[in-house]
A and B are shown apart, each in its own frame.
Chain A
Amino acid sequence: MENNNNIPIDDLTEEFVVNIGPQHPSTHGVLRLQATLDGETIKDLLPVLGYIHRGIEKMTESLGYKQSIYLTSRMDYLSAHINNQACSLAIEKGMQIEVPERAKAIRIIMAELQRLTSHELWWGSCAMDLGAVTPFFLAFRDRERILDIFEGNTGNRLTMNYITPGGVMFDVLPNFASSIKELLVKVKEHLKEYEELITGNVIFQHRLKGVGILPRELAISMGCTGPVARASGISCDVRKYHPYDGYDKLDFKEIVIDGCDSWARYKVRMEEMKQSIHIIEQLIHNIPEGEFRAKVKGVIKLPVGEYYQRVETARGELGVYIVSDGGNKPYRMKFRAASFSNLGALKPITVGAKIGDLMASMATIDLVIPDIDR
């Protein structure tokens, strides 16, 4: 730019604050980002939370343990099964009951199917944020197939409340295994289609490569977990390090890519979908026979103490921390949500970048806002 007055260009520009959200299609909900811009460069980014704070943690204190599980479905609704599982596991820890093998297998199959639906939705909306509309429809095509299985077996499409303390709510349908086998054949075919359509697309790669760089040290200090951390070279899969419900007996790889940018986060999720399919395939051929739920009292009372359980949701580590005073209601229930910690990384990776790259960074961090605000 020509500058006749010999004034440095920095002095000619003016900082400008833009509020992105709370009503903005790319924030995937009601997150508000206060972006201070200098031209197109982001100088500062302040996420404003609380637009969907529903007080779930406080409400659990007035509900029973079983009722609290229904609330967890509404936290990270794209990982509803896994949230239910986390809460159930924490309660089971306190009750010291053994979950039947059949229930464990069903839980893992459901959790991995849930991870598939979540990553598929992410894939569609990520591509849509970057300007491609077709992937959104393709992703939902497969997602609906999985939701049909959820609906048939659990009775609901999105907020299932299927996994309860002691096992699962109902036994699965007789055609459960065969329907999933059929599904996986199609999903595998379609994953190849996804790779051809988007992963190999040069325009898409240029939008993601070298954008939103999250160094390893920063990811650790921000407490990032899940695909976001694994794309920065941190091995942190809870299913590997603190196995629950029999993940230790299964053969699957933890996807760790040392790319640190948005492209690495994209690759991690695409590979994770394949691993989820691999996990389901191991279980679906031999679901153990037997009880689907251990005998649990109508009103659950946990002994006095503190119980913590962590699981790997589609977005990272979900921790459920229960403090019990011996009554039939939790004294305190705290959720350590993955999206909240991952959101912390958004500011450091976008400050200094262009505003167009903000959406790419946000899309690959894959936030669920009610999980942040709870």
Chain B
Amino acid sequence: MDVNKDFIPDFPGDIYKDDTGKTNFIVTSVDSIANWARSNSLWPLSFGTSCCAIELMSTVSAKYDWSRFGFEVMRASPRQCDLIIVAGTITYKMAPVLKRLYNQMPEPRYVIAMGACAISGGPFFYNSYSVVKGVDNIIPVDVYIPGCPPRPEALIHGMMTLQNKIKNSKAYVIENPKKEENE
């Protein structure tokens, strides 16, 4: 029995042929195969509040085309999403809505803070009376992407960083319990 490496190039595990020459069984761990599947089919929520949402739209569309990485299934309902990209400023009025959207997402769920406003309240709006000083005060954030707004390349890099993070995590064990959720 031979190991068939060319079948799926980035498959996390060994694929074996049987006597007939066809692929018949694989040797891998649950973690790696689940994470492999999860990281390559992230479904983002179409959530954007301000300027960063336009760069998010740029990333979706023709030139940058993030469907090359398997992110293209933008969903309008949080029930169908794995990932929420917080693109834009979150104000105190919007914060409960974002929290609810996050809570409505099925596990495992990931958060990307896109842009300075989502990271820390913004390059300018930090001093404003109505802006949340960083979205990580409300929901746990996995990847931070700096910029005002970040370039589409930066967003794609952030998404690939998230993919790596997912690939290196335990699929069915939550190692570090996420932050205590207080409404």
Contacts and interface: CB of A to CB of B under 8 A. Distances in A.
Interface of A: 22-25, 29-30, 50-56, 58-59, 62, 70-71, 74, 77-78, 121, 124, 136-141, 143-144, 147, 157-159, 369-370
A161 to B, nearest CB: 10
A364 B182 CA distance: 40
B63 interface: yes
Nearest to B65: A137
B137 interface: no
Per DSSP, chain B at the interface is loop
Contacts, number: 99
B129 A77 contact: no
Interface of B: 46-51, 53-55, 57-58, 61-63, 76, 78, 88-89, 91, 93-94, 97, 101, 122, 124-125, 127-131, 148-149, 151
Nearest to B151: A157
B128 A55 contact: yes
Contacts of A121: 54, 57
A22 B97 contact: yes
Nearest to B48: A29
B93 A51 contact: yes
A53 B78 CA distance: 24
Contact of A59 (B49, B53, B62, B128): B128
A29 B46 CA distance: 10
A97 B45 CA distance: 48
B76 A25 contact: yes
A90 to B, nearest CB: 19
A53 B62 contact: no
A282 to B, nearest CB: 29
17 contacts: A23-B78, A29-B50, A52-B91, A55-B131, A58-B128, A58-B129, A59-B124, A74-B51, A124-B61, A137-B61, A137-B62, A140-B58, A140-B61, A140-B62, A140-B63, A141-B63, A144-B62
Given A23-B101, A50-B93, A52-B94, A370 B62 contact: no
A141 B62 contact: yes
B76 A52 contact: no
A270 B78 CA distance: 35
Nearest 6 CB-CB pairs, A to B? A140-B61, A77-B51, A55-B128, A144-B63, A141-B62, A370-B50
A55 B125 CA distance: 8
Contact of B130 (A55, A70, A144, A157): A55
Given A23-B47, A77-B51, A59 B93 contact: no
Nearest to B101: A23
Given A29-B50, A159-B148, A54 B62 contact: no
Which of A55, A56, A78, A147 has most B Cβ within 10 Å? A55
A274 to B, nearest CB: 22
Given A140-B58, A141-B62, A53 B49 contact: no
A159 B149 CA distance: 8
Contact of A77 (B50, B124, B130): B50
Contacts of A53: 91, 93, 130
Given A23-B97, A24-B76, 13 more contacts: A22-B94, A23-B47, A52-B50, A54-B122, A54-B130, A55-B130, A58-B129, A59-B127, A59-B128, A141-B61, A141-B62, A143-B58, A158-B55
B54 A77 contact: yes
A370 B101 CA distance: 20
A144 B163 CA distance: 26
Which of A53, A54, A77, A147 has most B Cβ within 10 Å? A54
A72 to B, nearest CB: 11
Contacts of B54: 77-78, 121, 158
Given A23-B97, A62-B127, A54 B51 contact: no
Contact of A54 (B46, B55, B91, B101): B91
Nearest to B121: A54
Nearest to B129: A55
Which of A22, A74, A77 has most B Cβ within 10 Å? A74
Contacts of A124: 61
A56 B151 CA distance: 24
Contacts of B149: 157-159
A328 B147 CA distance: 29
B125 A51 contact: no
Contacts of B63: 140-141, 144
Contacts of A55: 125, 128-131
Nearest to A143: B58
A51 B49 CA distance: 8
